[in-house]
């Protein structure tokens, strides 16, 4: 399956509601962010707090084009928390932080309009 970032791409093939529920998408608050110079695209290493049930997780996110490190700590983000960990160069990414491509193809983070409890699940 190839995912396109092209806004003109047709919708993906239909899935069932049960398929959707398999993806555990939660809100967490970024508690630490640092440079990730070893990444191929401008990226940061994030530590995100998903509340007491899930705890803190690490993520490698290609968001350096649109965000400065100093504006990330304290920001809420959405992430898939039930993918297996993935090695990204020398770092381990435990969750997939979610975003959308802007007009330049750079990532814009996906987050709620208002603060919600860390660990809240998308439904």
Phi and psi of 69, rounded to 5°? -55, -40
- If one compares 6 and 22, the residue with the highest pLDDT of the two is 22
Q: How far is CA 25 from CA 31, 61, 98, 110, in A?
A: 18, 16, 9, 11
Which has the minimum average pLDDT: 4-8, 14-18, 59-63?
A: 4-8
Number of domains in the chain: 1
| Confidence grade of residue 8 (pLDDT, cut at 50, 70, 90) | confident
| Confidence grade of residue 3 (pLDDT, cut at 50, 70, 90) | low
pLDDT at 60 over 80: yes
What 3-state DSSP class applies to 21? helix
Q: Are 115 and 76 in contact (CB under 8 A)?
A: yes
Residue 116 belongs to some domain of the structure: no
- If one compares 41 and 91, the residue with the highest pLDDT of the two is 91
Structural domain that includes position 86 = 17-109
Q: What pLDDT is attached to residue 1? A: 47
Residue 114 belongs to some domain of the structure: no
Instruction: Note if the pTM is more than 0.85.
Output: yes
Residue 48 belongs to some domain of the structure: yes
Determine how many CB atoms are found less than 10 A away from the CB of residue 31.
14
How does pLDDT run across 33-48, given as a tens digit for each residue?
A: 999 999 888 899 999 9
Determine how many CB atoms are found less than 10 A away from the CB of residue 54.
20
Query: Domain of 77: which CATH number?
Result: 2.40.50.140
Residue 11 belongs to some domain of the structure: no
Residue 6 belongs to some domain of the structure: no
Residue 51 belongs to some domain of the structure: yes
Within the chain, strands assigned E span 25-35, 44-49, 56-61, 76-80, 86-88, 91-93, 96-97, 99-101, 107-109
Of the candidates 70, 58, 3, the residue with the CA atom closest to the CA atom of residue 28: 58
Q: Are 13 and 3 in contact (CB under 8 A)?
A: no
Q: Are 98 and 77 in contact (CB under 8 A)?
A: yes
Residue 55 belongs to some domain of the structure: yes
Residue 45 belongs to some domain of the structure: yes
Q: How far apart are CA 53 and CA 57, in angstroms?
A: 12
């Amino acid at each position: 399956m190839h995912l396109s970032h092209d806004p003109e791409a047709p919708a993906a093939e239909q899935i069932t509601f049960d398929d959707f529920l398999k993806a555990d998408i939660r809100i967490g608050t970024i508690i630490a962010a640092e440079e990730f110079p070893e990444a191929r695209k401008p990226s940061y290493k994030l530590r995100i707090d998903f509340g007491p049930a899930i705890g803190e997780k690490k993520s490698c996110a290609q968001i350096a084009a649109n965000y400065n490190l100093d504006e990330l700590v304290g920001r809420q983000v959405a992430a898939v928390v039930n993918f297996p960990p993935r090695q990204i160069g020398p770092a381990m990414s435990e969750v997939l932080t979610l975003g959308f491509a802007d007009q330049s193809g750079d990532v814009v983070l996906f987050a709620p309009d208002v603060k919600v409890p860390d660990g809240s699940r998308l439904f």
